[in-house]
Each structure stands twice: as C-alpha cells, then as structure tokens.
Structure 1
Amino acid sequence: MDELQKSFSLPYFLTCLLIFHINSAAADHIINSSHAIRDGETMVSSSRLFELGFFSPGNSKNRYLGMWYKDITPKTVIWVANRQAPLTSKSGVLKVTNTGLLVLLNDTNGIIMWSSNMSRSVRNPVAELLDSGNLVVKDANDASSENYLWQSFDYASDTYIPGMSMGWNFVTGIETYMSSWKSNDDPAPGEISLHLDPTGYPQLLMKRGNVVLCRFGPWNGLRFNGAQHIADPAYRLTRQDLEMNKNEVKYRQDTMDGSVVVARNTLGQNGVVRRWTWNDRTQDWENYFSMPADNCDSYNLCGAHGICNLGNFPSCECLDGFVPKDPQNWNRANWSNGCIRKAPLNCQGDIFLKYSGIKLPDARYSWFNQSMSPSECEAECLRNCSCRAYTQLDIREGGHGCLFYNGELIDLKNPSPDEQDIYIRMASSTLEHLPQYTSMPVRQTFKKGREHVDLKMSEEPDFR
C-alpha cells in the first residue's frame, strides 16, 4: 500500500507542479489588486519580447519603473513611468487598486510616487503588459482597446515603437509626444520634444522648449513630406497612417500581417531622431534614419521665401521672383530676414510657378480641402487673394484634396525625397524679371538643378 501511494503521489505532485508553472508563466504578464510587483520582480509580455520592472539608468542609484526588451543586451529601456519621481532605494511596489488605479508606492513610507490618471473605475481591474509593449489597465473581462482605463502608449518617453500613436485626443485632452531624457542618468523630460502639430495641417515639429528646431513636412498620404526615405528592410513590414477627425489627430505605425518588427524611433538629448532596428545576426541595433540629416534641416535657415539647397554654396538662395530683404546681411550668410517679392501680387492676372522635388513649406500657415480634385485647387487659390501657394493634399492614387498656403512660405529645402509639386503665386510682371522669359507663352518649363519651375498663367497676361 505504501508503495502504491508513493507511485501515485509522485506523478500527481509533478503534474500539479507543471500546471502551476504553466499558469504562473501564463499570468506573469497580468497583475490584479491582490498581486503586486516589487523591486527585483518583473512582468513579461506573453510573447516574451517586453519586460517591465525596476532599473537604475547609467551611473544613477535611483530606481525607476520602466520597460525594456527582455532578451536584448545591453538593456534598452523604451518607457519610464516615474520619470520625475525617482525612488532612492529598492522599496518600490507596483499595485492595482480596487478602483483600477495603477500606483507605484514607496513601500517604506507608503507614499505614492506615481499613478495612472483615470476618471472611471471597473469591477475587476487588472494591469496587463501586451505583446505590443503597451501596459494597459482594463477590466479583466473586457478586451476592447476602446475601453482601456489607461495605457502607457498615451504617455511616451523618448522612444516610439510600432503600435503607438502620436498626436492629440481632443476628447480627453491628452497629447502623446516624445521627449528626450534629461541625461543618460536621468530619464526626466529633457529640453527636446517631438510633436504632431495639427495647426493648419498635421506635420511633425521638433522643439527645444517652444522653439522649433526641425520640421518634418506635412503628411501627404504616404509619409511626412521632405523626410528621408527609410532603407530599413523591416520598415516594409509596417504601415503608416494619419487618423484625423473631430475627436483626434494621430499618426500611427503598425506592423502588417502579424509581423514581429523589433524597431524603435528615439529622440536624443542632442535633438536627433533616429530609427533603430534590431539585427539578430550581429546582435546589435542598426541605425537606418536620422533627422535632422544635414544643415538644411535646421528650421527656417533661409528665412521666408528662401530655399536651402544642399548642392549650392552658400546654401541659401531666394525663390525665383524674390530678392534678399536685407542684401548686406544676406551676403554675410545671415539669411534670417529671408526674401521679398520683386513685384507685388495683383490678385487678378497672377501666375503660378511650379516647383517639384522641394520640401513643402511650414503647414501651420495653411488650410485644406480634402474633397477637391487637383484641377479645382488652382481655381480655389485664384479666388482667394490671400492664397500664396497650393499643392495636392494626398498624393496617393493620382492625388486628391488641396493644401493652400497663406502668408510667408517658410522652411523650404531642395532637394527633397518626394517628387511633390507646389504652385507658388506670383505677379505676372514677375516674368519680366526672369532671364530670357520676358515674353514666354502661357506654359513654359525650365530646370534649375533638381528644381523644376512651370510658369502657369491664371489669365493671359498683357505685356503691352
């Protein structure tokens, strides 16, 4: 009988142990109100790609709750919770309250160091680390992303990964943007930030405080105009999209067909955005994109109606039909005052100069119409005397919609990776100032480097 009990008990014990291990492994990506994460313990996504726990950055002894890639060395942190409230000892505890708040406590004194910001509660709250790298608080019985109480993807640090959005939720008032670390030892928000600015038409602005340092041009349906094309093979496994309605304006990258892409965009303390992709063969991160890429990416380097040309020395020149506003300083390579028109606009009988392959101007000084055809863009711009230029809003499938500019045209660059046309308004008398074109026909094209100029009359001009 004793032998029978022994033979029965051991397999039974091993089976129970295996079931317990499986259940524990399946549940280590979720905590509820009865389970906490202490310093030294971690949560791991079910795919085993992401890990959440406590760490000390650089040479600091402070402790932070953060997220990193589980099996990548050295540790690559992509998100930090208590950026501005470090723990000074290994006393941190992460808990989910009965009302659904995610709180980080100093277990020594019970002080809340950080908490999620939520306005409603659920009956059975849990925190879950998803396979996307998103830490979410939700009802255990509700998998809908629309019903999340809180998610880390809304509160980016210095890193953007596929699945995240960047921009504004106008209902909640939450802006998701990137901000650099203060230093390698301090993940508190630094001086540099990257925003999706919805003013006029959405574009990405890099800032130091409130000062714009660099600009990714307006969204054109495929990408942000003027940004480098990314040669990363893994980039082809992602799709980009801009969601714009009365409730939100958000840019988003997603992986396609369930692909696993270990890639990230980072915002450095030096004001450079980089895209990194993990190479399993070399066991290292490879850099496929940097912005700013050159001096011409410095915001508004050449002033209003000036264009920065990488192939020229000096780099700045005025658009055709414009001259330096301050010739003396312009010749000293101080281009900040930009360029002014040789001839003022008349509103009636104006012409359009077509430029191709240049970075589009700052879209904060623009308005748009999503339903117009390309042929309607010109007529609409002509009807409005404040319209200074126009281009297609969306270049996909032959193009549709119109983007109109008013005021000064700022932050132009030549060449641009995008062969997108922009039509700039000029007085018809401007033709008299263009060499060899004082009596040109209604349409004439000439080339200047990679810059194409198509003179397009709004009406037949009178050269008498």
Structure 2
Amino acid sequence: MAAETSSLTQSQFLSNRETLVSPGGMFELGFFNLGHPNKTYLGIWYKNIPLQNIVWVANSAISINDSSTILKLNSSGNLFLTQNNTVVWCTSSEEKAQNPVAELLDSGNLVIRDENEAEAEAYLWQSFDHPSNTMLPGMKLGWDLKRNFSVFLKAWKSYDDPTPGDLSWGIVLHPYPEMYMMKGPKKHYRHGPWNGLRFSGRPLNTIYHYEFVSNQEEVYFRWSLKKTSLVTKVELNQTSQEHQYYVWSEKTWTLYSTMPKDYCDHYRVCGANTYCTTSASAMCDCLKGFKPKSPEKWNSVEWSQGCVLQHPLNCEDKLGDGFFFMDGLKVPDTEYTFVDETIDLKQCRAKCLNNCSCMAYTNSNISGAGSGCVLWLGDLFDIKLYSNPEMGQRLYLRFNPTKLDKSKTKENIERQLRVLDVTLFDLSSIRTATNNFSLNNKIGQGGFGPVYKGKLVDDREIAVKRLSQSSGQGITEFMTEVNVIAKLQHRNLVKLLGCCFQGKEKLLVYEYLINGSLDIFLFGM
C-alpha cells in the first residue's frame, strides 16, 4: 500500500510496516510492540498521542514474532492475520458481502462492510463488538439479545502485556440489569442499576453523557462527550483493579475518575441487610429492623456475616408490616428482583406486601414523577449510603413495626431503670416467690389490682403490686410511678426494690414491712 488510506479491500493487504489511518487522522491501525521486539500485535492507537495510546488489540492472546505477517480481507468479508501462511487471528462474520471493505473510522472502530453500505446496522463485523481493555465514546457495552452476544471489557495482565487478565467489566442480565466489574467469576464492584437518570451508585458528571437502553432486542450502556473537542477513554486496569476515566490534556493523560472509589464501593464488604458509609466511624451498620448475625464478630469489626431480622415479618397478616425509606442509596444488588414497568409506587408497595420474600421496593425509573416498580426478594446486599442525599436514590425497606416498637420500648425502659438503679425482675422469679400469685399470698386489693406477699430465693420478703389490665394504666403511667417512687428516699417510706414487665404483666416489687409506716397508703390497705 503506497499511500495513506483508511480502508482495505480484497485486492490489498497490510504488511508489518504499513498502517491504516482513519479519515480525520484520529486513529491508526497497524503492528506494534510494547518494548518486546519478539512480541508484536495488530492493534489500533491514537495517531497523534504518544503516551498510553493503544485502544484495541486483535491478537492479544497470541503475539507475533515474524516480519512476514500480513493482514488480508478475503472474498467472504473476513479479515485474516497470518504469519508464514499460518492464521494467527481472524474475524468470524457469518454475513456475506459482494464487495467487502475493511475501514478504520474516526471513532476508533474498525468495521467490515459492503462498500455500498455505510450504515452501522449493515456492518458485517466491528472491533467495537470485541473490545480489549479500553472503552471509547460511542462504544456499546452490553448484550445483543437477538444473537445472545455479550460485549465487555477485559483487562490486560499488565501495562506491557495485553494478554487478557481475569478482570472484566460489562452488563449482567438480571431482571433489573446492571453493570458489574468481575474478578473471575466473583463480583468486585457494581455501578448500581440505571434509574432513568444515572446509575444509582454514580453521581452525575459534567463531561460525559450516559445512555442506557434496555428492550427486547438489546441491553447496553454507552457514553459520549458533552464537549466533542475533548479526547477521552476508559481503561480497565488489572493491577489497580479499577476502571479509570482519562482525559487528554496538555500533552498528558489526566485521570478524571476511578471506580471503585472507596472501601464501600467494593462488593458486599458489609454482608447481608446492611449499608456502608465512609463518613461514619463504623462504616457498616444494620438496616432498621435487623441485628448483627454474629454480635461478637460485628463488635470486632468483622462485618461480612451481615445482619438478620430482629423479628419475623407478618406473612400471615401482610398488612401488619410497614416500610421506612432511606435516601441517597446505591440500591441493593439486583440479582433477585422483580420488575414491572407498568405500575406506580403505590401499586408497587401493595405488590411487595403480598410477597413474603419481598424486602424492599422503589421506582425503576426516578425521572420526572417516577414510574415503574422493582422489588427485591430475600436478603439485601451491597447497599451504599452517600453523605449527599442527591446522590443515589430512595429505597423503601420492609420491617415489622409492632414488634420493633415493642423491642425499642423494652430497650428504653431497661436503659431508664439502669439510670434509676432499679432492678428488673424476671416474671418466673416473681411467680415462684408468690406461689404463682396464690390467693393465700394475697394481702390487699385496690383499684389498680391486687398485692401479694412473697419471698425471694435469697429469703428477702417482698410485696408485689400487680397492675390489672382494667386499671387503665399503660406502660407510660407505669414507668412514671417507678420513676417517682425510685427517687423518693425516706425512712417512713416503703422501698421500691424493682419491677417486672413481661408479656401483659406489669409488676412493682417493694420491700415487705409489717404494720405501720406509709405502706398502708401505698398499698391501699
């Protein structure tokens, strides 16, 4: 090939010392090495950028070590890279063309098409469908559902070895699809699902315009530049285990952003039913209504076992459950979800209540007034809470409000009793002391209920005031009485030893005094 050209036809071939250059001079295709003369590759690079400029490699798994290598386009419309007449790499288009041509575009995309067909839909093959470690503007990552074909990035083993590593980045087809960075078969980082405006785990930015499409034919993500004069790329880096956004500025690549960005971005660091926030001293916390599965490990800052429900949900009486919401979240992993784009948030709540395994819900699209419904089924994983509520999105989480409120009441009362230095007796010990509230132990009766004499296991004699359910005295009034009596200290006043509230029982335990003093007024005898 004597002159600079952007295309290759059947009558031409590309040798070791020749290149294709895109029409605008942005990209170049040819043979290169990365400091290893015996390891040569066919690839695409920025023509006028001297640093870290390789954006695509054809034969990344098999290097070339012979100058006799050539690139040809055959009559069926496939490219063949040969060394000593042995095929090293080739394309695999099943479509045929009468007059095939391979062309390098100014987007950095190498395409094979019929010379009379310029539309992207008519491409027989394109390098954008087979990326290496770099994503360029306009490139799609995702799935062609008609072909059951996935497009994803694969990191190089190192900066000078384009052999594929084990770090990849692409879309996983969950019911609510989202983008994952995978390390081998394991999830390493996820963006959070697309919510109509952005990925729920990523803020909006000023440089890129994101596009996410999900329909019956394809599911993909791509980005473009708001300022077309900028030169930018995304690289997947095996060494740092990140994808890195670069902008070419003042003769160097400037690192614009990286993901994962912090500890909470790493997948599932806090375990099930938790949320992670880097602004807190303890980065992991249980969701409301949950408690650590292993308190000992949790207190030792070992959070991976996560949290479990404090109280079972009301599956028999589904309407007995409630929801609370949290704003500013990267919503949970979407592997076990159900999506209905046709219903609103109110209908979504009802659908969640009618499914005992549903633990959370929200709009699938938060743009405008919000629309669609997504339910999370089972344990919730990989939730991140942002300090800025405008990042992330709102999530409605299910819990048992009745049992949770009772639990909180008990915790509050126990805390108050410790402050008053009042003992909390167990109901079984009171039953034993009073012979199960025997009539023979009854020593008085008032509007509040009966009083029983008893003896504790340490031989102390007690008088037990048992509030009846008809007294009208609730837990608030009960604690007010405990608070007043506990603070009164007088030699003529009977002493409050403690109390008991368990199930429907509310009991005050006093020291027992024979005759006299003011016990007659206290007990109404």
Query: TM > 0.5 between the two?
Result: yes
Task: Return 182-191 or 293-302, whichever deviates more.
Answer: 182-191
Aligned with 1:283 (options 237, 241, 251) = 251
The equivalences for 1:20-31 within 5 A come to 24=3, 28-31=5-8
- Identity level (%): 38
Measured against aligned partners, the alpha-carbon deviations of 1:140-195 in whole angstroms (never above 9, x if no partner) come to 00112111110000011111111100111122222100111012222011011112
Q: CA RMSD in A?
A: 2.2
5+ unaligned residues in a row in structure 2: which ranges?
A: 413-502, 505-525
Measured against aligned partners, the alpha-carbon deviations of 1:36-79 in whole angstroms (never above 9, x if no partner) come to 11112111111111111111024463000011111012251010
Cα distance in 1, alignment partners of residues 169 and 259 from structure 2: 11
AA partner of residue 243 (structure 1)? V
Instruction: Report whether the alignment pairs 1:41 with 2:18.
Output: yes
The equivalences for 1:280-429 within 5 A come to 282-347=250-315, 348=318, 349-415=320-386, 418-428=391-401, 429=403
Q: Secondary structure at the match of 1:358?
A: strand
Aligned with 1:91 (options 61, 65, 68) = 68
Q: Secondary structure at the match of 1:393?
A: coil
Aligned with 1:139 (options 109, 114, 118) = 114
Cα distance in 1, alignment partners of residues 196 and 230 from structure 2: 22
Structure 1 residues 89, 436: CA separation in 2 closer, same or farther (over 3 Å shift)?
farther
Shift of 1:90: 2.6
Cα distance in 2, alignment partners of residues 131 and 264 from structure 1: 14
Shift of 1:435: 6.8
Other-structure match for 2:199: 224
Aligned with 1:262 (options 221, 231, 242) = 231
Other-structure match for 2:495: none
Measured against aligned partners, the alpha-carbon deviations of 1:175-230 in whole angstroms (never above 9, x if no partner) come to 10011101222201101111211112111111111011111101111221112444
Shift of 1:94: 1.2
Cα distance in 2, alignment partners of residues 223 and 37 from structure 1: 43
Measured against aligned partners, the alpha-carbon deviations of 1:418-447 in whole angstroms (never above 9, x if no partner) come to 251100011122233347999xxxxxxxxx
Other-structure match for 1:253: 223
Q: Secondary structure at the match of 2:246?
A: strand
Structure 1 residues 389, 68: CA separation in 2 closer, same or farther (over 3 Å shift)?
same
* Structure with max Cα Rg: 2
Instruction: Report whether the alignment pairs 1:431 with 2:405.
Output: yes
Other-structure match for 1:161: 136
Kept after mapping to 2: 8 A contact 1:217/1:360: yes
Structure 1 residues 105, 221: CA separation in 2 closer, same or farther (over 3 Å shift)?
same
Shift of 1:389: 0.5
Measured against aligned partners, the alpha-carbon deviations of 1:62-117 in whole angstroms (never above 9, x if no partner) come to 000011111012251010000111101233211110111111111xx201100011
Cα distance in 2, alignment partners of residues 305 and 94 from structure 1: 54
Q: Between Structure 1 and Structure 2, how many residues are aligned?
A: 407
Cα distance in 1, alignment partners of residues 353 and 49 from structure 2: 57
Cα distance in 2, alignment partners of residues 437 and 352 from structure 1: 21
Instruction: Report whether the alignment pairs 1:271 with 2:241.
Output: yes
Task: Return 134-143 or 389-398, whichever deviates more.
Answer: 389-398
Shift of 1:256: 5.9
AA partner of residue 207 (structure 2)? A
Kept after mapping to 1: 8 A contact 2:200/2:329: no
5+ unaligned residues in a row in structure 1: which ranges?
A: 1-19, 439-462
AA partner of residue 246 (structure 1)? Q
Cα distance in 1, alignment partners of residues 411 and 20 from structure 2: 70
